[in-house]
Every structure is written in structure tokens, then in C-alpha cells.
Amino acid sequence: MARIVQCVVLGRAAEGLTYAPYPGEFGKRIYNQVSKEAWQRWVEHQTTLINEFRLTPIEPKDRAFLVTEMEKFLFGAGATKPSGFVAPPDGAPKP
């Protein structure tokens, strides 16, 4: 049986994650308040940030940027969008 959470991103009840995707208290917060669907949206946005800003996730400054953006995306007013970035239309193949 799926675990249901009241997702802060979607604003409704949805299937929860099966494990904390990030360590520590922040990971527990994500596990308790973010759905699988919302987490997948973050992963897609994170990939866009990494590609558009040419980030290297093992670099401390890039990792700190991604963690800040993750917190804004999941619990804040929304994350940074790369300047000039245009998302592909729905149904378009993703690179």
C-alpha cells in the first residue's frame, strides 16, 4: 500500500516517496512533505539547472546552489529559471 503525504508542492494528498532522497533533517522534511510526483518535477528542474548553468554537482559552490534551489522549489516561492530558457512543449521528446 502506498504511503500518502499532503504534498506542499502540489497542494494535495499524493503518493509519498519510498525513502528520504537527501540526508539529515532536510531529507526527513522532504520525505514527510513531498510526493513522488513533486520530487520528479524537482529532478527534472535540477537537470535543467545543471545543464543550462553548466554546474558540476561535486563542486561545493554548485552543490550549495542546487540545495538552495531545491529548498526554494520544494518549500519556497519557486526556484530560479535560467535566463532565456524555453521549456519544450508538452509531449515533445526530452533530450
Going along the chain from its start, the domains and CATH numbers come out as: 4-75 (1.10.3880.10)
Integer Cα distance of 33 and 94 in angstroms? 28
* Residue 6 in grid coordinates: 499532503
Integer Cα distance of 66 and 90 in angstroms? 25
Q: Which one has a higher pLDDT value, 17 or 93?
A: 17
Please give the single-letter amino acid code of residue 76: G
Residue 95 reports pLDDT greater than 50: no
Residue 71 reports pLDDT greater than 50: yes
Contacts 24+ apart (CB under 8 A), 66-71: 67/26, 69/45, 70/22, 70/42, 70/46, 71/26
What does the pLDDT look like over 13-64, one tens digit per residue?
999 999 999 999 999 999 999 999 999 999 999 999 999 999 999 999 999 9
pTM: 0.82
